[in-house]
Structure 1
Amino acid sequence: MPNLLFRCLSHSATACFFVLLTACADAPAQSLATAPNVPAAIQPPPQTTTAPVETLSFDEWRTLLRSDAIAAGIDPALFDRAFAGVVPNPKVLAADSSQPEFTRPVWEYLDGAVSSTRIARGRTLITQERANLTRIEQRYGVNAETLVAIWGLESNFGSNIGNHNVVRSLATLAYEGRRQAFWRSQLLAVLQILQHGDIAPESLVGSWAGAMGQTQFMPTTYNEHAVDFDGDGKRDLWNSSTDALASAAHYLQSSGWQQGQPWGFEVRLPNGFDYALADPDNRLPLSQWEALGIRPVNSSTNAAAEASATLLLPAGHKGPAFLVLSNFRSILRYNNSTSYALAIGLLSDALRGGSGIQASWPRGDRQLGRSERIELQELLTVNGFDPGPADGIIGANTRKAIRSLQLQLNQPADGYPTEDLLKQLRGR
């Protein structure tokens, strides 16, 4: 699911008015440690929001929203049609506030994301959609395998686009959820989509958080990047796989996708390698990584020596290693989770006949639960390190703090949180 970007570069003067109404509530990129089974795009980070207006009933709140929407150019009859029978959905509020204690390890996530069934189905669809995919690549420069991989992970190739009433879901979140200004911007964007005539209100379904269509676009992302590629006059991401795939390609192109460049590749590290170099901020030309003794597992990487790459250790020094390039970062713009981006890359490789990961995952290692990750961050702070807020998210600051601790302990400084590391901190 694309990250929630609500830019002021809209398609019309009406859209600019929406920006003024909603204070252009952008959602910055999240930590790369976002749980792989919970799309980062629907979890914008904490931000300053307006306090809940507890004195307003939902009907009163809707009346105020109606006035704002009409002032912004939304047809009154369309607004009333879209909100007919809409009341807050408690299940949406529960989903918004839920924070699971445990998430799947990256290897378990990849087992499902890059399954043999999904690979076989994706290859079949590439053959069936070859003409459209070729046209899309010619227009946007994004290869068929990457687009079909996104299609497969976002909606199981269009078979699971969600069944929530999007207007109801977003109205619930905008009325009484967290980050109300943010969700209000999405709700107003949905009304703009309806005003455009891309879909009827009765057919507007999606995820609990308002992600829509076969490529799960949020409304503000839809308004900026959805395209009518099949030429029927509508940007239909629900029923037109052509529009959905082309819209995903348009999004990636806008995110800096480099045609002909790989997303990355698996590598082998030399003995005695300095794992502290596996820092997301440490980007080096491939030629410099080669000079450090890093070698690709497969000889054909199809990447220029001057291409900038980052070393990725998704399971620490015990697991596989990857050099990831700018196209990996473009995928992160779609969903800011390294596990997701890695799944897209590996699935796209598999669709073109790749052999998969050669190194082994540390499947015997236990993942820290959320409360343990919070404890780890608190203990890092107590011991003089700076992991940032104790929120259970292992982001860049926490990983830097872990690396500093690991260097003190003469351990591989891979920045990876483990149960053993937490036990050592408890004993300090």
Structure 2
Amino acid sequence: MANLFARFLRPALQGSVTAALGLSVLAAGLASVPAPAAAQSFQSCLNNLWPAAQRAGVSRQTYTQVTAGMTPDPDTVRLMGKQSEFVKPIWEYLDSAVSSSRITTGRQMRQKYATQLAAIERRYGVDSNVVLAIWGVETSYGGFMGQHNALRALATLACEAPDRTEYWRQEFVTALQIVQAGHITPDRMESSWAGAMGHTQFMPSSWRQYSADYDGDGRHDIWTNQPDALASTANYLKSFGWEAGKTWGYEVELPAGFDYALADEETWRSLAQWRRLGITRTRGREFPRPSDQAFLLLPAGANGPAFLMLKNFEVIKRYNNATSYALAVGHLADRIIGAGPIEKSWPRGDRPLSRSQVREMQTLLTRKGFDTGGVDGRVGPMTRSAIRAYQKRTGQIADGYASVKLLQQLKG
């Protein structure tokens, strides 16, 4: 989703010990507060937010209309205290995000909005199929936009979240400004539980910076006007450096004896240089622009598919900073226009580690003399380097993949 939420809240829910404990304590604490007292506290918080809204140009009438009788969103309270301890394997994520039904619906939407998508691509220089794929991955082409009200969700976070309070308050005030300006009525401001809004899930601050008025009616309506939402998404990608006329990446095959230390997501080479190292496109196809720069990605280690990723892959990650998300968007875009599935099979029996298992793995590697840079439950560059060193010492393919099988070896 096009917002800061994707960059800091999602990691917090998936493994940040401090944030996750704080959110869990918050949820437990809220559950123990008597309902009348909690409601009174929430209304007091809303009253305290009025001066900031007033300074931002929100009228008292609008503020009262939005906040009168408002109560905390129970789903927001519940979900901001929920940790995601177990990481879904990338192949399971892709099974859902790039399902046959999503591909079929994407092709139908491509035909339905062909004129608008073509105009958006000309205007912004962004591949319209990628824009369409983001729509599909974010909300199933508008089929599920969260079923929450952005104003209520953001007010809940502004008043109840244990940290980044100022961020949530600014998002709430910005949402009020959107209503004040007449872009959407309060009751139609549909969002996720965390306030990501509309067809392509913009936070209010991202809406303010990047939303677009496709049809020139004076409103940037990402909730009920699909072309506005698609144009907004294209504008977002353009703003972060989308390279027109280029793709996001290629599935490739690696030669025998390849040095997997080069797959560190930081080593950029031209496609021609990768080709000289023996890397080829699947099915013997050529790279259309050998001078394009790319890095090598092995999302499931040496036993899974390999990809050379271009700059546009990194641009997609600005929408949601997760490798699985960006791969899903790129692959769905390709499938919509008729490309086939990913060719190499995923190692479905070699599952990735949960956050607690990563911490256990890091502890064991450190005890064996391999520096992981700390025990934090995250597989970063130093942890991958430590895994490679261990794998090399034990005569394995040194791909740096943190799997359950690796943990079992370390424990054995």
- Aligned counterpart in structure 2 of residue 153 of structure 1, from 129, 134, 137: 137
C-alpha offsets along residues 161-210 of structure 1, whole Å, 9 cap, x if unaligned? 11112122112112121322222222122122222221111221210000
Deviates more, 1:234-243 or 1:369-378: 369-378
Please state whether the residue corresponding to 1:362 is helix, strand or coil. Answer: coil
Compared CA separation, residues 324 and 44, structure 1 to 2 (3 A)? same
**2-structure distance, mates of 1:375, 1:289:** 35
Assess if the C-alpha contact under 8 Å between 2:295 and 2:309 holds in 1: yes
Partner of 1:420: 405
Assess if the C-alpha contact under 8 Å between 1:266 and 1:323 holds in 2: yes
Shift of 1:378: 2.9
Please state whether the residue corresponding to 1:266 is helix, strand or coil. Answer: strand
Assess if the C-alpha contact under 8 Å between 2:14 and 2:85 holds in 1: no
Partner of 1:398: 383
Shift of 1:40: 6.2
Structure showing greater relative contact order (alpha-carbon pairs closer than 8 Å, 6 or more residues apart): 1
- Aligned counterpart in structure 2 of residue 128 of structure 1, from 112, 115, 123: 112
Partner of 1:16: none
Q: Does 1:373 align with 2:369?
A: no
Assess if the C-alpha contact under 8 Å between 1:150 and 1:215 holds in 2: yes
Partner of 2:157: 173
Aligned residue type for 2:279: I
Q: Does 1:258 align with 2:234?
A: no
Aligned residue type for 1:281: E
> What are the within-5 Å matches in structure 2 for residues 22-421 of structure 1?
29=7, 57-179=41-163, 180-300=165-285, 303-388=288-373, 390-421=375-406
Assess if the C-alpha contact under 8 Å between 2:188 and 2:223 holds in 1: no
The percentage of aligned residue pairs carrying the same residue is: 47
**1-structure distance, mates of 2:352, 2:131:** 31
Aligned residue type for 1:99: Q
Assess if the C-alpha contact under 8 Å between 2:247 and 2:312 holds in 1: yes
Compared CA separation, residues 134 and 113, structure 1 to 2 (3 A)? same
Aligned residue type for 2:2: P
Partner of 1:17: none
Assess if the C-alpha contact under 8 Å between 2:3 and 2:319 holds in 1: yes
Assess if the C-alpha contact under 8 Å between 1:261 and 1:303 holds in 2: no
Partner of 2:33: none
Shift of 1:301: 5.5
Deviates more, 1:163-172 or 1:327-336: 163-172
**2-structure distance, mates of 1:217, 1:266:** 30
Shift of 1:29: 4.7
**1-structure distance, mates of 2:271, 2:82:** 41
Compared CA separation, residues 41 and 122, structure 1 to 2 (3 A)? farther
Partner of 1:12: none
**1-structure distance, mates of 2:134, 2:201:** 10
Please state whether the residue corresponding to 1:57 is helix, strand or coil. Answer: helix
Aligned residue type for 2:104: A
Assess if the C-alpha contact under 8 Å between 2:56 and 2:173 holds in 1: no
Shift of 1:43: 7.8
Assess if the C-alpha contact under 8 Å between 2:56 and 2:177 holds in 1: no
Shift of 1:75: 1.2
Partner of 2:34: none
Compared CA separation, residues 265 and 125, structure 1 to 2 (3 A)? same
Assess if the C-alpha contact under 8 Å between 2:141 and 2:199 holds in 1: yes
Shift of 1:375: 1.4
**2-structure distance, mates of 1:226, 1:247:** 4
| Gap runs ≥5 in structure 1 | 5-26, 31-37
C-alpha offsets along residues 270-329 of structure 1, whole Å, 9 cap, x if unaligned? 000011110011111111111110001145565422211010111110001000000100
Compared CA separation, residues 348 and 28, structure 1 to 2 (3 A)? closer
Structure 1 vs Structure 2 CA RMSD:
2.6
**1-structure distance, mates of 2:330, 2:125:** 16
Assess if the C-alpha contact under 8 Å between 2:103 and 2:335 holds in 1: yes
Compared CA separation, residues 401 and 108, structure 1 to 2 (3 A)? same
Compared CA separation, residues 182 and 405, structure 1 to 2 (3 A)? farther
Partner of 1:3: 3
Deviates more, 1:223-232 or 1:67-76: 67-76
**2-structure distance, mates of 1:44, 1:384:** 25
Assess if the C-alpha contact under 8 Å between 2:355 and 2:377 holds in 1: yes
Shift of 1:105: 1.2
Assess if the C-alpha contact under 8 Å between 1:262 and 1:301 holds in 2: no
Compared CA separation, residues 294 and 262, structure 1 to 2 (3 A)? same
Please state whether the residue corresponding to 1:189 is helix, strand or coil. Answer: helix
**2-structure distance, mates of 1:264, 1:415:** 21
If each structure's helix is expressed as a fraction of its own residues, which one has the higher value? Answer: 2
| Gap runs ≥5 in structure 2 | 31-36
